[in-house]
Structure 1
Amino acid sequence: MEEENINVDEFVFESLLEDSTTKIEEKEDTLCSSGVLDMNKLLSVISSQFQAQSLEIKEMKSQFEAQDARWATRLEEQETRLTTKLSQITEHISAQVTVQLKEQDARVSQVSSQMQELKTQISEEQDKVKADVEELKDRLRDLQLNRPMVSTSSVKVNTPSFDGTTPFQIFKLQFEKTADTNKWNAEDKVAQLFVALKGAAAKILQTIPNCESSSYEALMAAVERRYGSEHRRQIFQIELQNRKQKASESLQEFTTEVERLAHLAYAHKSAEYIEDMKIHSFVNGIRDENTRYSALACPKSRFAETVSFALTHETASLLSNRTFKAHRVEIEEPAWTKKFLEEMHKMLEKSGETRKKNDGVVKCFNCGKGGYIARNCNMESNRPNYLSGRKRKAEEDQPTLKSTQSLN
């Protein structure tokens, strides 16, 4: 084609195109015919499967219907059974309830009858009690009109007496306790208080006006004004502050005195304040320095604990002290003592004689005049100065006396 000067690109193969198109059309016809055949096969297969499934569905439906019929029969049977059981149970329960209700009705009727009987009994008893109360009121009126001033038959405890020597607070507590025990009323208290006042305390009755003589409060207030300790609080406080243990006083006696003064001085204060004041006064008033130091070094919160600690320490200190053997020492009496005693004996005899002669008139031993004694005399003494000699001799013999005391 190149030799014939023919362009290959522009040359059209008509015969070839025609042949190819015809072939393609034939192929398409064959394919279409084959596709139609395949679709028919598929449809036949699908229809056959659908029929088989519809048969299966029908069978299953028949089975379900059979099962439904069975369940329905079973349910009907169970319903009949339950209805019969329920009917039986309801009948049984109704029978029991009716029996119980009848029993309760019988009990209620019994209780109501008993309540009626109790009401009648209570009403009868109330009437009796009212009658008894009226009788007692009448008797009480008769007793109040005709009873004596002091009912000595009802006295259980004797009335304490008061003459002014015992503390008033103690008497008041005893009298009020006696009144409570004997169950005295106001008139009984007045009568017993009149009887209880003795001696100087009975003179208070002269100072009470007639309008107040029948009042227990007025009588007791008058006695308290005279013998009470309310106006002496400051005095008791000063005594408590300055109270010290005496040389011949034991710790127990000192404890009792401190407690008495503390309650009298601070009766209006609280119990805690009184406790603190008792502890403070007791510790500061202890005579033994070691015991006081120990009590201050180991303070206690309660007064009883402080006292027991002080007593224990005092006992321990006494037991731990060393014992020394004392040697007998004879001291020769000076010559002037015998002479001094003789002169004093003579002077005493003369004074006794002069007193007998003068019929009890006091005279001075120095000047011989009456009306005063020798220590109040202004004249110089004419007696021999034995006392000054004795004092001088005692000062000379003082070292020897100290040595003997240390030995003892």
Structure 2
Amino acid sequence: MSYQIDFSNDASAQAQKAHAALKNHLAALLGVEAACIVLASCPEDARRAAPDLAGLPLSDVTAERVSAPALIRLGPPRAPVTALVLETQKDVQEAEAALAAPPLVLLEAGIDALRPAALAAAQADRDARARVLDEVLPLLGAGAQITEHGVRINPALAPGLGLVTAQDGTLFIPDAAAARALAKHLGARASGRRASVRRTTKETDIALSVDLDGEGARVDTGVKFFDHMLEQIARHGGIALDVTCEGDVEVDAHHTIEDVCLALGEALGQALGDKRGIARFGFETPMDETRAGVWIDLSGRPFARFDGVIPGERVGDFPVEMCPHAFRSLAESMKAAIHVSVDGENAHHMIESCFKAFGRALRMAARIEGEALPSTKGVL
């Protein structure tokens, strides 16, 4: 046989390997020594193991360096593996002696949570949760305050609000979905046109966020020219765009480009909501020696047409054949009709013109013009 499959590790050995892998990955991310990290199954266990640090605030993992001591939540609420970052080996030894090693399932959840797309998705969810809680706080009565776990209100007010709280008045709000459910229950109208999407396949892991009324772009797909094209959509579309993607670019760029465009279309569709008040239609025909036109109908009916032949095989690390494919993927997941026409001689200019024109057309189609739905059917 030309290859081997390792079946030598039992569950205990797998857990030990996962324990070391999680500590090493977290140490590299936070800029600390792995020997200073102690893992616990949940924040409560971590605090009991280091009682002197019981008042230490619980932080979410980010790519920023930390200073000891620190208490960091790694996994999601369903798998709340937690890290203690301690100052001395004596502190580490005492904490380890007081803790049982987290089970393999929690360690694996922690490892998954440190993937770039997972970190980006978690940050987007925290931001969305914070925005919604800020909006609903005035509706929860005098003395309501945001806490580590959610919101604490006067328990006496809960029945009148149709809410059941913990004994101390805490409403446990672990994520943005729970915050939005609370807002809907209280009759609060969602502000802003935003959406976040996590898309994971065998080939790609993507976290993508859009804000139709924001600005700026942070894009990292592993395909540099494609990053530049997505930045053009954000700039010319007048939107904020945040994209993190881990893809199999060592094979080719196809899956990364296709899946990111599917995620982008899905997020744009979600951010548009019921499309009430939008212009619905958009078009743009620039630029220079290259002429590119894009026409968009945010109709709810996916269709794509691409007219034009782009010369050559690649522009940098971007296969030219993926330009039409990108717009087909956008149309499919955005549920929009997108027509693209391009004419020119320089492949770089032709592709860039298409993405810039798409951004401009999107800006026109998504702009708010009133309160009504732009359809006699009453729905899009």
Q: Same fold (TM over 0.5)?
A: no
TM-score normalised by length of structure 2: 0.20
**Greater Rg by CA:** 1
Give 1 or 2: higher strand fraction.
2
Give 1 or 2: higher helix fraction.
1
Point out which structure has higher relative CO (alpha carbons under 8 A, 6+ apart): 2
